[in-house]
Structure 1
Amino acid sequence: MGFLTSNKNIQILIFSVLAILSFSGLVSSPIALLLGLFFAILVGNPFENKVSKYISKLLQISIVGLGFGLHLDEALQVGQSGFLLTVGSIFSVLILGYFLGQLLNIERPLSYLISAGTAICGGSAIAAVSPIIKANTKQISLALAIVFSLNSVALFVYPSIGHWLMMSQQDFGMWCAIGIHDTSSVVGAASKYGDEALKTATTVKLARALWIIPVSILTMFIFKTKDSKIKIPWFIGFFIIAILLSTYFPIFEVVSPTVTEISKLGLNLTLFLIGSTLSLEALRSISIKPLFLAIFLWIFISIGSLILILN
């Protein structure tokens, strides 16, 4: 292992082979994530700093591509059915996270980052509210490490539970969108379950991601930082445009299956890249109290939303 970690050419070669394998569709999304994780731990990622810059862009482009596989009536129906559950879950997690963070005596910015990441959409929510609450680099890194670690677990646990409970495609997609933090893991778990689950999960999760805007405004008042800028997730607008094009322009029906398939492969590659940035150092930096808070909130939202969906 010492030779591999010291020889950059070997690192680059292995990274390239695994990236191509992940994009090829020969491995599932959870396996792609594991490949990235094992690569980071056993070999070391020579592109760790550069890769981080492209993960969000690749994820956003892939999600926009998935929009071509949806029609407007499907998207509206799914969005309406998940609205109340989305609103209830977001604010219950934020409130519970606030009181539990105080009880555990966790730094207020860190507990808020974990709560927001769990309530809305993982890393995107953390990135949106961190400048508003003036979180420092250590707090942001710790929150991201915890959220991405739990996302990794969810990729394997959720599909297994879904099959065990014999959940329908729509119910499982809804559960993924509510219970899993980050969009990449939501789509990864849902795509493993089935195409209908993927459509439901993507639509509800992106509708959920729009809550970054009102939550960011609320955060400005809570932390009294009214001069902060709010980051709007622009790619959601392009996702909606893709749905409209596939609905009202028949010509896109020819290319939609291909675009959708390539987008799924892009998400597989995204998960590999995410895994390749999760080093042992990042995992070791996770302390007990913030981890307990994150796990408690995740179990709360997972079990609570599952009960409501099944009933």
Structure 2
Amino acid sequence: MTEAVFLRENHRKILFCLLAVACLIPAVSSPLALILGFILANLGWLPADWEIGKFTKKLLAISIVGLGFGIPLQQAVAISTHNLPLILGSIIFTIAVGTLLTRLFKLEHRTGHLIACGTAICGGSAIAAVAPAINAKSDQTALALACVFILNSIALFVFPVIGHLLAMSQHDFGVWSAIAIHDTSSVVGAASAYGEEALKTATTIKLARALWIVPVAALSAMFFGGKGRMIVPSFILYYCLAIAITSLFPQGAAFYELLFSAGKRTLVVCLFLIGCGITLKKLRTHGRGPLLMATLLWLAIGSGSLCCVLWLSE
């Protein structure tokens, strides 16, 4: 009996590794990778003793740094500066609406604030940074992450379809996805499915947006008592360093292109790993209130930013 269980566990590990490696093949798209992970999780075929969540965070950080090698410094500064009013305005709008919805649905304030910050800035990274700043409990953090997680997955499929239906340009779609999709991984997944220019625009704006984690976490700590601590995601700093390196040492352009391409493919693997964390059981156990609030907040910022992007492009 023990041997049979051991063999089944070995088979799970082999299958998991084969699917993860398959996600490096260009034929496997971001949505398909997410679906493969989701199927594996819901069939109960994940390795029981592997901490997939921790590995996902590390691989995601490495992948994002890799993308930094494909974005010229001047382009990054120009795109970020040009869209600064939209970035800052959307953050303030999202947190304000999130606060109102938290009171309307009578949710626990810390849970609502985490959902609002995750929607306003960069999903799980923002929640992970703000949670210790406001002394959030583990169940409050997990609930906020779950809500953002679900909507991220939906965005990965829906956004490219809407973009094509509206005949959005590569640039406009990149701006919209960076503003309206929560996590950087899903932003990159949706944008890469739309095109190369959309990918570079979306990544640049999303990570410029992610820099606002620092002031938001600081203000959150003050608002909730000032006794928490801030955690600034290091991958943001390394991403900026990668962009600076490509500008200071342009002779390594061929190598930088390889790093950029590797970053894009490993992000697809990240989406497979993220899919492995989504199960129907988890979705059923979370309360409707937080998910409804997160959905309404996401629809508000998604539709609002879409109108702004289309208006500015005219």
1:66-85 equivalences in 2 (<5 Å): 66-85=67-86
CA distance, structure 2, for counterparts of residue 305 and residue 83 of structure 1? 13
Letter in 1 for 2:107: I
Q: Whole-Å Cα distance in 1 between the matches of residues 48 and 220 of structure 2?
A: 34
> Which residue of the partner structure matches residue 250 of structure 2?
250
Quote the Cα distance in structure 2 between the aligned partners of 1:294 and 1:305.
Answer: 16
Percent identity of the aligned residues? 47
Query: In structure 1, what is the Cα distance between the partners aligned to 2:27 and 2:115?
Result: 34
Report how many aligned residue pairs link the two structures: 308
In 1, distance between residues paired with 2:87 and 2:26? 31
Q: Is the 8 A contact 2:56 2:270 kept in 1?
A: yes
SS in 2 for 1:24: coil
Closer, same or farther: CA 299–182 of 1 in aligned 2, 3 Å = same
- Letter of the 1:274 counterpart: I
CA distance in structure 1 between the aligned counterparts of 2:288 and 2:214, rounded to whole angstroms: 30
Whole-angstrom CA distance in 1 between matches of 2:160 and 2:112: 28
Alignment of 1:1-311 (within 5 A): 7-47=8-48, 50-224=51-225, 226-311=226-311
The question of whether the paired residues in 2 share the 8 Å contact of 1:4 and 1:11 is answered with no
Alpha-carbon distance in structure 2 between the residues aligned to 1:66 and 1:78: 16
Residues 4 and 30 (structure 1 numbering): CA distance in 2 closer, same or farther, change over 3 Å? farther
When residues 285 and 5 of structure 1 are mapped into structure 2, their CA distance, relative to the original with a 3 A threshold, is farther
Q: Secondary structure at the match of 1:130?
A: helix
Task: Give CA deviations for 1:170-202 in whole Å, capped at 9, x if unaligned.
Answer: 110110110000011001111111111111111
Gap regions ≥5 residues in structure 2? none
Once superposed, which parts of structure 1, at least 4 consecutive aligned residues long, lie more than 3 Å away? 3-6
Q: How does the TM-score come out when normalised to structure 2?
A: 0.94
How far the C-alpha of 1:259 sits from its partner, in A, is: 1.1
How far 1:4 moved relative to its partner? 10
Partner Cα distance (1:297, 1:198) in 2 = 24
Equivalent position SS for 2:132: coil
Distance in 2 separating the partners of 1:175 and 1:126? 21
What do the CA deviations read for 1:211-234 (whole angstroms, capped 9, x no partner)? 11000111011101x232211122
**Counterparts in 2 of 1:109 and 1:164: CA distance versus 1, 3 Å:** same
CA contact (8 A) 2:156 2:190 kept: yes
Name the CA distance, whole Å, in 1 between partners of 2:134 and 2:237: 26
Measure the CA separation in 1 of the matches of 2:5 and 2:97.
45
Query: Please, which moves more after superposition, 21-30 or 189-198?
Result: 21-30
Deviation at 1:24, TM superposition (A): 2.1
CA RMSD in angstroms, aligned pairs only: 1.7
Once residues 4 and 11 of structure 1 are traced to their aligned partners in structure 2, the CA distance between those partners, rounded to angstroms, is 11
Counterpart contact for 1:159–1:192, Cα < 8 Å:
yes
Distance 1:48-1:143 versus aligned 2 partners, 3 A rule: farther
- Kindly provide the CA deviation profile for residues 22-61 of structure 1, in whole angstroms up to 9, marking residues without a partner as x: 1222210111011101110013322575111111111111
Task: Give the whole-Å Cα distance in 2 for the aligned partners of 1:26 and 1:11.
Answer: 23
Looking at structure 2, the residues matched to 206 and 5 of structure 1 have their Cα atoms a distance apart, in angstroms, of 43
Deviation of 1:6 (Å): 9.2
